[in-house]
Chain A
Amino acid sequence: MLKVIGLGNILRGDDGIGPVIIHKLEESSWSLPIRLCDAGCDAFTILDQLLGSEPVIIIDCARMGKEPGTVQKISAKDSELLPANLGISLHGYSLSEVWQIARSMGVKNDLAVIGVEPDSVYFNSGLSEVVKKSIPIIMQMVAEEAKKYAEKDSHH
């Protein structure tokens, strides 16, 4: 079963796209076999999920240098995350760090991220119009991923 995780802060404009999608999926009438998790800004929850046996897809706001609202599936294979910066506090951990930790703990699967280019991550703003328009595209991508894994499961 596919685990879908929304990462981001709903207080920071388009950074909230991950949790918003999780909320939409919770309200949808889909019968697809998925498990949902709103991880908010807690990178360690992602780490815990990555170490499980189920495939994981993460929805996150991503600065990719594309047009705002662009949705793109990113694999850790074809992108290079920033070097892990573990700093001085638990607050220094983000997806980049926990993915590298998961890798070093022996996780072999690709990390699939549905990245959404933000227009604004200004405090106290909701999703921008361009990112709102991307919601159906993201939902469709999640559905396709869920179907793909459901088919894989049924072959086993």
Chain B
Amino acid sequence: MKKDLQIDVHHVTRVEGHGNIVIDMKQGVLQKAQLEIVEPPRYFEAMLKGRNFQEVAIITSRICGICALGHQMTSLKATEAALGIEISGQTEVLRKILIHGATCQSNTLHALFLATPDLLSVGSVFSLINTHKEVVLAALRLKRLANDIGDVISGRAIHPISCVPGGFTKLPTEKELTDLRKKLVEEGLPDVKFAIEVIASLADKIPDFTRETEYISVYSDKEYSFYDGDICSSDSGTTPVENYLEVTNEFVVPHSSSKHARFNRSSYFVGALARFNNSYKFLKPKAKAAAEKLGLSAPCFNPYMNTVAQMVEVTHCIEDSIELMDRLLSGGIKPEKANNEITQYGRGIATTEVPRGILFHDYTYNRQGNIEAANCVIPTGQNLANIDDDMKKLVPEIIEESKEDITLKLEMLVRAYDPCISCSVHMLDVEFVF
């Protein structure tokens, strides 16, 4: 049947900025399948210009409420690279634990608050509260645990204050770390096990869709890396982070105010599934067991499985955090101060894995230690072309389904990437009723 289909899903997300799914098929021929981003640019790079190196990470941590920690870590690393500031092994381990906390909370909330209602066909988290309140409570407990990690190590639950270029202004005590470790073992691991069981019981509801693409992530030959490493492409192997512009190749498209990216193909995938595909062998044992239970094996080419990969990662992050804490505690916390010795001025490029994928910060400092130029390439921008390519393959495959089912599958697809569309302002809109 030569079908006509028009879908236009408007997702207005509060005050400003939104993404729309637009599908146009005429006589069975797909004319258009795209995620339109109409969010006004936020000019963060312009905001950083002229700022001193000591305040840059504080500003970048406020770019996003969900990804605050990831932006701050990447920012600190870019500044340290530009100014030649060395950090200690202890600082690196503490930062890795912080990133694990941030990954845990974002991945868990995404999987349980956004994806699970789709899999249960209950519409939204509101229905989930009625039918599966324990899932919501487990997600919130894991979120609280991540806030506790932030509180103990970075001085704040959400926007860190003790992380500075060169180290930390205040270190956690051994007792605080021991207590945190206990919570991870006694609360974190059981909650994530429960969450995995919930997702596993719904695995057959995950749409069966496959499109092999290029998977790009941070890669280290020592560990499942979030904090540091080369850029890894599933197509062409590793590239030093300094060459990131050759990988991202950002370009402008008419339907998006956010730039798209491409490397070896027309699009690439960043996020949990890319990390899983590229670094599976470095997952901790409980995480590997979780992957098996969830039916996820590397390489996986189903973008809907990104949510599943996220929960595997939550298991890994808790396991690895416990090991990292053991390492710190066995040697004792060294009472070191942040290194403030600047050895050069110039350009510094850094990457980390934030929950939604590989993030780049690129700064150039002048001799006063102020930023002359900045560039931030966020994961969602890198995923947009890939989402469009997924939709172009998916729509013809499901064209015989009802418009409602097609729309739901498209929404689920976009949700699987958990795009960061608008998060820079949280103003309350109040309408008085007298």
Contacts and interface: CB of A to CB of B under 8 A. Distances in A.
B433 A78 contact: yes
B427 A118 contact: yes
Q: Of B19, B136, B428, which is in contact with the most chain A CB atoms at under 10 Å from its CB?
A: B428
- Looking at A15, A42, A105, A123, the one whose CB has the most chain B CB atoms below 10 A away is A42
Interface in B384-434: 411, 414-415, 418-433
Give the interface centre of A43, A80, A90, A113 by most chain B CB atoms within 10 Å: A90
B276 interface: no
Interface string B54-80: 000001001111101000000000000
B275 interface: no
B211 interface: no
B265 interface: no
B430 A63 contact: yes
Per DSSP, chain A at the interface is mixed
A91 B426 contact: no
Interface in A30-81: 37-45, 47-48, 51, 60-65, 74, 78-81
The bracket for how many chain B residues form the interface is 35 or more
Given A40-B68, A84-B126, A105-B133, A90 B106 contact: yes
A47 B113 CA distance: 13
A89 B19 CA distance: 10
Contact of A41 (B59, B105, B423): B423
B424 A87 contact: no
Interface stretch (B140-148, B175-183, B227-235, B314-322): B140-148
Given A40-B65, A89-B421, A91-B66, A124 B47 contact: yes
Between A38, A41, A81, the greatest number of chain B beta carbons within 10 A of the residue's beta carbon is seen for: A41
B140 A47 contact: yes
Contact of B411 (A47, A65, A88): A88
B125 interface: yes
B62 A10 contact: yes
A64 B429 CA distance: 7
A20 to B, nearest CB: 12
B14 A92 contact: yes
Contact of A79 (B109, B144, B431): B431
Given A63-B428, A81-B430, A123-B42, A91 B13 contact: yes
Interface of A: 7-12, 15, 19, 37-45, 47-48, 51, 60-65, 74, 78-82, 84-92, 94-96, 100-101, 104-105, 113, 115, 118, 121, 123-124
**Smallest CB-CB A-B distances: 6 pairs:** A41-B65, A91-B423, A42-B65, A62-B428, A92-B13, A87-B11
